[in-house]
């Protein structure tokens, strides 16, 4: 039995944050129905990235929305609103990521939805919470990384603040939303009661920094000091970082500087025997190390360091990684098929249950592809007498 068998999710969300949460629920076996605007649908359908287009739609739309259904409805048209209300009656979860006020205007805010379905789990993501003038600000990943201090944790001290090159705040907010929804689905199994889950991208971005923010809150408000060379983590001592070698790059995590110096034959490093200096003189130590590692190849160094138990590794881009046996052994790639016959290669859920990798071959839905099926299944089609009345 699938983990979320027979759980119905009515998903009004768009782009990445909300849809990444419903992707997780779909992977667990929930029935996820995207409610989309007729004609255009989820704006992400047309958010092409890097010029890559699959069957007229963006590659990321396909990645985010595989294994879901699409139901188009004009939320300003009474007939469609009637159908959506019927669907909500049957739903376990209703979710959205509109700006505050939008669902209120449409009549699908929590209080209204709860009247339609008293045990519903209602989950929403905002950029900055639900109160205050900032609720009008766009809840966009780069802007949240910039506002929340995240950008000041990456790159070296002389460089601009640098964002993380993945939409990490969207992903985290979506993941937190999924956690909240799942916790209430569990509760509902015991008490029969649903409830409301709220996540904001700002809170998720701050939670992501919880370890280092806790330092900042309690060290008198000292800002993180990024390393001047080979930056890895503003709060971690030398040698932590990625280094250039004669032919490529290599990563070195926490290590004993003296031991490291002896292993790679760098007499200058061995002199730093006081552990305190490994943080205080981080940049000096890392500069010495960086110069020394240029003398030989990545393989040469790893062959010395790995057997000695030093935490080190190669640095791969996607081209290199996907050739590796270690990558292939994971079986992360899945090919999903859309109903109009397009095959899309993407990644599966990272979670394995009872020895089975969660993967499904259903591709992302065409816009409104499932309207008829859903009308029939949930008996929400326009009733014959209404048609007769016309």
User: What interhelical angle do 201-208 and 168-191 show, nearest 10?
Assistant: 100
Q: Is residue 220 near other proteins by the rule CB under 8 A? A: no
Contact 250, 298 (CB under 8 A): yes
Q: Is residue 160 near other proteins by the rule CB under 8 A? A: yes
Taking Cα atoms as reference points, which of 244, 364, 334 lies closest to residue 295? Answer: 244
Which member of 157, 311, 379, 386 binds other proteins (CB under 8 A)?
A: 311
Which member of 39, 78, 131, 192 binds other proteins (CB under 8 A)?
A: 131
Which residues share a beta bridge with 346? 334
Neighbours of 374 (CB within 10 A): 21
Which residues share a beta bridge with 34? 11, 70
- Of residues 81 through 120, those in contact with other proteins by CB under 8 A are none
- Of residues 326 through 355, those in contact with other proteins by CB under 8 A are 326, 328-330, 332-333, 344-347, 349-355
Which member of 32, 73, 172, 269 binds other proteins (CB under 8 A)?
A: 172
Q: Is residue 189 near other proteins by the rule CB under 8 A? A: yes
d(CA 137, CA 22): 24
Shortest Cβ 104–other proteins spacing (Å):
15
d(CA 87, CA 85): 5
Q: By CB neighbour count within 10 A (0-12 exposed, 13-18 middle, 19+ buried), where does 51 fall?
A: exposed
Measured from the CB atom, is 5 or 115 closer to other proteins?
A: 5
Which member of 184, 264, 285, 367 binds other proteins (CB under 8 A)?
A: 184
Q: Is residue 43 near other proteins by the rule CB under 8 A? A: no
Q: Is residue 241 near other proteins by the rule CB under 8 A? A: yes
d(CA 111, CA 101): 13
Q: Is residue 166 near other proteins by the rule CB under 8 A? A: yes
Question: Candidates 72-80, 82-90, 98-106, 244-252 — which segment interacts with other proteins by CB under 8 A?
Answer: 244-252
Give the active site residue among 42, 109, 141, 170. 170
User: What interhelical angle do 17-27 and 168-191 show, nearest 10?
Assistant: 50
Told to judge if 170 belongs to the known catalytic residues of this protein, a careful annotator would answer: yes
Say how many residues touch other proteins, by CB under 8 A. 141
Contact 57, 369 (CB under 8 A): no
- Of residues 257 through 286, those in contact with other proteins by CB under 8 A are 279
Active site residues: 170
């Amino acid at each position: 039995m699938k983990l979320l068998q027979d759980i119905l999710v009515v998903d009004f969300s768009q782009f990445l944050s909300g849809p990444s949460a419903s992707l997780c629920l779909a992977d667990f076996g929930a029935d996820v129905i995207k409610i989309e605007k007729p004609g255009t649908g989820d704006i992400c359908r047309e958010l092409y990235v890097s010029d890559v287009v699959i069957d007229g739609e963006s590659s990321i739309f396909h990645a985010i929305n595989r294994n879901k259904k699409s139901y188009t409805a004009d939320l300003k048209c009474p007939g469609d609103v009637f159908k959506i209300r019927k669907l909500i009656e049957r739903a376990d979860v209703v979710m959205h990521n509109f700006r505050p006020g939008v669902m209120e205007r449409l009549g699908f805010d929590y209080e209204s939805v709860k009247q339609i379905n008293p045990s519903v789990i209602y989950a929403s993501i905002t950029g900055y919470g639900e109160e205050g003038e900032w609720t009008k600000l766009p809840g966009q990943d780069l802007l949240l990384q910039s506002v929340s201090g995240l950008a000041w944790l990456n790159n070296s001290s002389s460089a601009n603040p640098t964002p993380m090159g993945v939409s990490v705040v969207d992903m985290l907010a979506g993941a937190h939303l999924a956690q909240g929804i799942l916790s209430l689905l569990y509760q509902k199994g015991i008490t029969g009661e649903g409830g409301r889950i709220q996540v904001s991208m700002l809170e998720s971005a701050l939670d992501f920094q919880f370890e280092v923010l806790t330092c900042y809150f309690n060290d008198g408000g000292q800002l993180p000091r990024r390393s001047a060379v080979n930056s890895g983590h503003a709060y971690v001592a030398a040698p932590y970082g990625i280094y250039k070698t004669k032919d490529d790059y290599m990563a070195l995590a926490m290590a004993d500087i003296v031991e490291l110096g002896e292993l790679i034959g760098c007499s200058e490093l061995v002199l730093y025997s006081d552990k305190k200096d490994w943080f205080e003189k981080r940049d000096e130590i890392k500069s010495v190390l960086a110069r020394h590692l240029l003398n030989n190849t990545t393989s040469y160094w790893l062959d010395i360091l790995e057997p000695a138990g030093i935490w080190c590794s190669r640095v791969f881009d996607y081209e290199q990684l996907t050739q590796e046996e270690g990558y292939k052994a994971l079986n992360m790639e899945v090919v999903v098929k859309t109903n109009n016959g397009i095959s899309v290669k993407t990644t599966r859920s990272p979670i394995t249950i009872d020895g089975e990798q969660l993967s499904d071959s259903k591709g992302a839905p065409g816009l409104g592809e499932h309207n008829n099926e859903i009308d029939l299944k949930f008996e929400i089609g326009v009733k014959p007498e209404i048609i007769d009345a016309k």
